[in-house]
Amino acid sequence: MALNITDIKRIAHLARIDISEAEAGATLTKLTGILGLIEQMQAVDTTGIVPMSHSQDLVQRLREDVITAINERELFQANAPVLGNGSAEKAVDGGLYLVPKVID
C-alpha cells in the first residue's frame, strides 16, 4: 500500500498533530518504510494458524459481582488539575471534573 502526502496530512489531522510541509515529507518516507515491513510480514503464509490475541496461553479469570470500592471522590479530586485561570483552584465543581467545553 502506497501512501501519499495527502494521506500523511489526513492522519496528522486525525491525530490532532500540527505538522509542517517538511515534516510531512520526512514522515512519508518513514511511514512508507514501516509499511514495507508490514508487507513483508503479510507475505508469510498463515493458513490454518489461529490468530493470537494474547501472548500468554491462559484464559480470563472472573471476579465475583461484589461491591469492593468505596467512595474516594475527595481523595481523587484533590489530585485534579487546576482550573488554569491563574488561581490554585481545582477543576472540579459539585463533584464533577471540569474540562474545556466539548460539544460533539
Q: Which three cell numbers stand for residue 26?
A: 520526512
* Rounded-to-integer distance, Cα 66 and Cα 59, Å: 21
- Taking the complex as a whole, the smallest distance from the CB of residue 9 to another protein amounts, in Å, to 12
Residue 45-84 contact track with another protein, rule CB under 8 A, x = bound = ------x-xxxx-xxxxxxxxxxxx-xxx--xx-------
- Taking the complex as a whole, the smallest distance from the CB of residue 46 to another protein amounts, in Å, to 15
N-terminal to C-terminal alpha carbon distance within the chain: 33
- Taking the complex as a whole, the smallest distance from the CB of residue 37 to another protein amounts, in Å, to 17
* Rounded-to-integer distance, Cα 61 and Cα 65, Å: 13
Give the residue among 67, 90, 93, 95 at the shortest CA–CA distance from 80: 90
Site for another protein in 9-28 (CB under 8 A): 13-14, 16
Contact footprint for another protein (CB under 8 A) = 13-14, 16, 51, 53-56, 58-69, 71-73, 76-77, 91, 93-104
